[in-house]
Structure 1
Amino acid sequence: MQTIILLLAIGLCAGVIGFLLFRASPRLTFVVWALVLFFVPVWIGATVGFFWAAATGITLVAVVATARSLRLTSVDALVAGFAVLMLGLFVLRLVSLSDAVIAILEWVLPYAWGRVVLARVPGGFVIRVIAAVATVAAALALMEFATGTNPFVLLPAMGGSYEVWAPLQPRGGFLRVEGAFGHSIALGAALAMSSAFVLAAKWATPLKVIALAVITGAVVATFSRIGLVTLVLTAALSIFTLPEITRRTRIAIGVVGVVAAAIIVPFISDVFLDAGQEAAGSADYRTDLLTLLTQVKLLGAAGDWQDLTVGGTYLGYFANSIDNALIVMALRYGAIPTLLLVATMVVVAVRCLIPGRANPASVAVAAQLPSLLAVALITQYGMYFWFMVGLAVAWDVERVARDQDPTRAHEQTDAVARSSRYASSP
C-alpha cells in the first residue's frame, strides 16, 4: 500500500512539474506532443477511470497549459454543437459511454489543441516541427520495411487495444509498415497530411525533395492505396495553393514526382497483383458498407443491427470493422451530428481553394477527404486529422486578424524586411 501511495505521489509531482514546464514553454509543449503522437502507440497510457492513451493525455495537458481566449468562428460553433449533442445524447442513453469518450477526447479535444496552438507558438515553428518529426517517422518506417521488424509492437501492452493494433499486416508477400500508428493506412494517411508541411517549410529545395522522397517511400511501404492517393493530392494541392512554395521547388517536385511515379507504379501494381483476392476483397468490402446506411438514425446510435439482413446482405459481417469514417460516425451518433462534422470538414477544405487562404493544415484536410470513405478515424490518425482541422481554422483566424489590424500587418512587414536584409548581407 505504501509503495502505491509513493508511486502516486511521484507521478503527481512529475505531472505538476511537467505542466509548469509546458506552461512556461509552449514550443516545448508542441515538440513533446508531436513526438508522442508519432512515436507512442495508442496502447501506451494509463487507466484513470478509463484508459487514457498517451496521445490523448498529452493533448489534454497541452490544451490546459496553453489555453488562451480565442476569436471564435462559425466552424467552432459547428464543433461546439457536435460536442453539446454528444453530451445530451449520452445523458439520454442514445450514445454509449465509449463512443461519447471517443468523440470528445479523440476528435473535439485535438480540434481544440489545433485551435489554441497558434496563439502561443509561431506558425513557422509548427510547420518545421511537423515536417521534421514526420520525416523521421518515415525514415523509421523505411527501416521497418527493410528489416521486417516493427520495434513499436515490442512495447508493453498497457491497454486492451494492443490486441487490436499490434498485429502486423501482410500484402503481396510483404509486411505493410505501420510505425507507431498501429495500422498501415493510419500511418500512410498521417504521412500524407504531413507532406504539406514539408513543402511549406522554409527549407532549401534539395532538403524538401529528400524529405518528401523519404515520406513517399514510407507511404509506398504501407501498400495503402488511400495513402498513396492522398499523398499525391496533398502534394498537388500544396504546389498549386501554398504561397510559401517557391517556383524552383514546384519545378523540382514536379520533375521528381514524374520520375518517382515511373518507378513506384509498376512496383505497386505487381504487389497488388500478387495480393490478388485479398486486395480485391478489401475494395469490394468498402462498397458493401453502403448497406449500413439503412440503419442510421437522425440522432443517436443505430442500435443492434448486427443480426439483421438487408437486401440479402448480412450486416453482422461488418461488426468487427467498418472502414468508412463517415458511416461509422452516422452509426454511432446519428445523421445530424455527422452532418455537423461533415460541414466542418467541408468548410475547411473549401477555404484552401480560395486564392490566398490556403495553409498547410487546410491543404492536408482537403486532401484527406477521400480517405474518410476508406478508413475509420483509428488510432492517432483520427487525433491528428482533427488537430489539422482545428489548426486550419486557427491559421485562417490569424490571417483575418492580420488583415484587419494594420499594426500587426506593419510588424509583419518589418520582420520580413529585416529577414531579407539579413539574408542579403555578406
Structure 2
Amino acid sequence: MIALRALPRGSVVAWVLVLFFVPVWVGISVGFFWSAITALTVLLLLVSWARVSLRLADGWMAAFLIVLCGMFALKGVALSPTVTAVLEWVVPYVWGRVACARVGVRWVTRTIAGVAVVAAVLGVLEFATSFNPWVLVPGPEPLYSTWSELQPRGGVLRVEGAFGHSIAFGTTLAMSSAFVIAARWRPAPTMLALGALVAAVVLTFSRTGAITLALTITLSVLLLPGLSRWLRAGIVGLGVVVAVVVPVLNSVLGAAGEEAEVSAEYRTDLLVLLRQVDLFGNAGDWATLVSGDFYLGYFERSVDNALLSILLRIGYVPTFLLIVVIFCAVLMMVRRQERSAGAIAVAGQMPSLVVVAMITQYGTFFWFCVGLAITSGAAASGQPDDEIVLERPGRGAGIPVPSRSLWAP
C-alpha cells in the first residue's frame, strides 16, 4: 500500500493493465466476490487521496449515493444492486476523478492509449489463431462459465480479449480510440495504433463496437484541440479504408443474418419492461409476470440495455441522477479548453447505453471515463482555489468550503 501511494504513476499503470488483461472472473471472496479490477480500484482509492476541484457532477453523484443508501435502508432496493452501484459505478467514477488529479491528464491518456493498443494487437492475434488464452485462467462458478465461453457469429469466433464478451471488448476499444488520438504521438505511430484498434473492433463482429468507434473517432477529429492537419487527414483516410473493409464484417453478419435479426428484435422487445419500473427501488419479481404477449421471464437471464437495467434495479429517480452525471461529462466538450479524451469517450458511448448492459470491465471503464472527463475539464478551466481534500482524517486534513466550481458543469 505504501508503494502504491509513493508511486502514483505506477498505480495508474497497474490499474489499466488489470482492466485490460485480467478477466472479470478473477478475484477474491471477502464476504462476497470481488473481481480483480473492483478490488484494485477500492484499494487505490484508499491509498491515493488527492485534491480535486468540486464540480456539479459531484453533487449529482453524491445525491445519487444518498438516495441509494436511503432506499437500501428502507428495503426499497436489495443488497446486490446496492453493492453493484457503489463498487462498479460510484467507485470507478471517484477513481477517475482522483487518478487524473494525482498524475495529470497526459499520463492517464497515454497509459490508456498504450495498453489499449497492446490489447488490440493481441485481439488481432486471437482472431488469427482462434485461441483466447484468457479462457484458460480458472475462476469460481458460475462466473467463469458465464463469461469464459467464446462466442461465434456466422461460424467465426468473435474476438473477446480478457473481457469475456465481444461487445464489452469492442466498446472499450472504441472508447480507447479517443485516448490514442489525444496521446499526441507522431502521426505515423498514431495511425498504426488506430489501425490496430479498428482491426480489433471489426473482428469482434459487434455492430455496437463499430458504431461507437466511428462516432468516437469522428468526435475526436472534430473536437480535440491541437491535432495536426496531417493527422486529421490520415484519420480521414483510415476511415475511407475502413469503409472499404467493412463489407467483410457485413458478409459475416449476413452469414448469421437470422442471428443478428433475432438479436435486434430482442433489444426492441426489452422496452416492454419499462412498464415495471418504479420511481424508487427495484421492479420486484417482474420475471414471473406476463405483459401483453410477453412472458417477462424471457428477459430474466439478460437485459442488454444499460439504462433499462439500471431502471429495473433502482427506479426512475436514482437513474435520472446518474444520467445527469453522464450529461455533465458530455458537456465538457462544449468549451474548447475543457475538452478531453474522457469526455469524447463518454459521448461516443451514448448509443451503446441502450443496446448493451454495463458488463464485465466495460462498465468500470465507462464510469472511470466519466470521472476522468470531469477532472480533466476542471484542470483545463484552471480553478485551483475551489477544492475539496479527499484524504484520510488526520493532522492537516481539511475540507475547504467550495464556491463557484461546485456549480460549474
Measured against the shorter chain, the TM-score band is over 0.9
Query: d(CA) in 2 for partners of 1:212 and 1:404?
Result: 38
Q: Is the 8 A contact 2:158 2:203 kept in 1?
A: yes
1:339-376 Cα shifts (integer Å, max 9, x gaps): 01111112211331433331100000001011001100
Alignment counterpart, residue 308 of structure 2, candidates 306, 323, 327: 327
Alignment counterpart, residue 274 of structure 1, candidates 255, 280, 287: 255
**2:187 equivalent to 1:205:** yes
1:301-349 Cα shifts (integer Å, max 9, x gaps): 0001112111211111100000000000000000000001111112211
**Which residue number in structure 2 is paired with residue 163 of structure 1?**
145
Bigger mean CA deviation after superposition, 351-360 or 109-118? 351-360
Query: d(CA) in 1 for partners of 2:71 and 2:11?
Result: 33
CA RMSD of aligned residues (A): 1.3
Q: Is the 8 A contact 1:44 1:159 kept in 2?
A: no
Q: CA deviation at 1:404?
A: 8.2
Aligned residue for 1:120, secondary structure, equals: helix
Q: Is the 8 A contact 1:361 1:392 kept in 2?
A: yes
Q: Is the 8 A contact 1:111 1:388 kept in 2?
A: yes
**Which residue number in structure 1 is paired with residue 244 of structure 2?**
262
**Which residue number in structure 1 is paired with residue 297 of structure 2?**
316
1:211-246 Cα shifts (integer Å, max 9, x gaps): 000000000111110100000000000001001322
If the length of structure 2 is used for normalisation, what is the TM-score?
0.92
**2:270 equivalent to 1:289:** yes
Which 5+ residue runs of structure 2 have no aligned equivalent? Answer: 387-409
Letter in structure 1 aligned against 2:31: G
Query: d(CA) in 2 for partners of 1:141 and 1:261?
Result: 21
Alignment counterpart, residue 190 of structure 1, candidates 169, 172, 177: 172
Alignment counterpart, residue 348 of structure 2, candidates 367, 370, 373: 367
Q: Is the 8 A contact 1:44 1:157 kept in 2?
A: yes
Alignment counterpart, residue 124 of structure 2, candidates 129, 137, 142: 142
**Which residue number in structure 1 is paired with residue 404 of structure 2?**
none
**2:51 equivalent to 1:91:** no
**Which residue number in structure 2 is paired with residue 64 of structure 1?**
46
If the length of structure 1 is used for normalisation, what is the TM-score?
0.89
Counterpart mapping for 1:167-186 below 5 A: 167-186=149-168
The higher radius of gyration belongs to 1
Q: CA deviation at 1:403?
A: 8.9
1:255-298 Cα shifts (integer Å, max 9, x gaps): 1211221122x111111110021110000100111100000000
Letter in structure 1 aligned against 2:109: I
Query: Structure 1 or 2: larger helix share?
Result: 1
Alignment counterpart, residue 58 of structure 2, candidates 76, 83, 97: 76
Number of residue pairs aligned between Structure 1 and Structure 2: 386
**Which residue number in structure 1 is paired with residue 405 of structure 2?**
none
1:140-168 Cα shifts (integer Å, max 9, x gaps): 11111111111101001146411211111
Q: CA deviation at 1:86?
A: 1.6
Q: Is the 8 A contact 2:124 2:203 kept in 1?
A: yes
* Moved beyond 6 Å, runs of 4+: none
Letter in structure 1 aligned against 2:245: I
Query: d(CA) in 1 for partners of 2:261 and 2:100?
Result: 43
Query: d(CA) in 2 for partners of 1:288 and 1:353?
Result: 35
Letter in structure 1 aligned against 2:376: W
**2:230 equivalent to 1:219:** no
**Which residue number in structure 2 is paired with residue 245 of structure 1?**
227
Letter in structure 2 aligned against 1:95: V
Bigger mean CA deviation after superposition, 380-389 or 121-130? 121-130
Q: Is the 8 A contact 1:307 1:315 kept in 2?
A: yes
**2:381 equivalent to 1:391:** no
User: Using a 3 Å threshold, how does the CA distance of structure 1 residues 106 and 290 change in structure 2: closer, same or farther?
Assistant: same
User: Using a 3 Å threshold, how does the CA distance of structure 1 residues 159 and 389 change in structure 2: closer, same or farther?
Assistant: farther
Q: Is the 8 A contact 1:43 1:160 kept in 2?
A: no
Letter in structure 2 aligned against 1:44: V
Alignment counterpart, residue 231 of structure 1, candidates 210, 213, 226: 213
1:170-209 Cα shifts (integer Å, max 9, x gaps): 1011111111111100000000000001001121101000
Q: CA deviation at 1:128?
A: 0.9
Aligned residue for 1:69, secondary structure, equals: strand
**2:282 equivalent to 1:301:** yes
Letter in structure 2 aligned against 1:194: S
Aligned residue for 2:33, secondary structure, equals: strand
Percent sequence identity over aligned pairs = 49
1:358-415 Cα shifts (integer Å, max 9, x gaps): 110000000101100110001100000000000000001111226989xxxxxxxxxx
Query: d(CA) in 1 for partners of 2:95 and 2:332?
Result: 20
Aligned residue for 1:297, secondary structure, equals: coil
Letter in structure 2 aligned against 1:103: A
Aligned residue for 2:350, secondary structure, equals: helix
Query: d(CA) in 1 for partners of 2:190 and 2:142?
Result: 39
Aligned residue for 2:70, secondary structure, equals: helix
Which 5+ residue runs of structure 1 have no aligned equivalent? Answer: 1-18, 406-426
Query: d(CA) in 2 for partners of 1:89 and 1:160?
Result: 29
Q: Is the 8 A contact 1:185 1:227 kept in 2?
A: yes
Q: CA deviation at 1:70?
A: 2.5
Query: d(CA) in 2 for partners of 1:402 and 1:135?
Result: 33
Q: Is the 8 A contact 2:332 2:374 kept in 1?
A: no
Relative contact order, higher structure (CA 8 A, sep 6+): 2
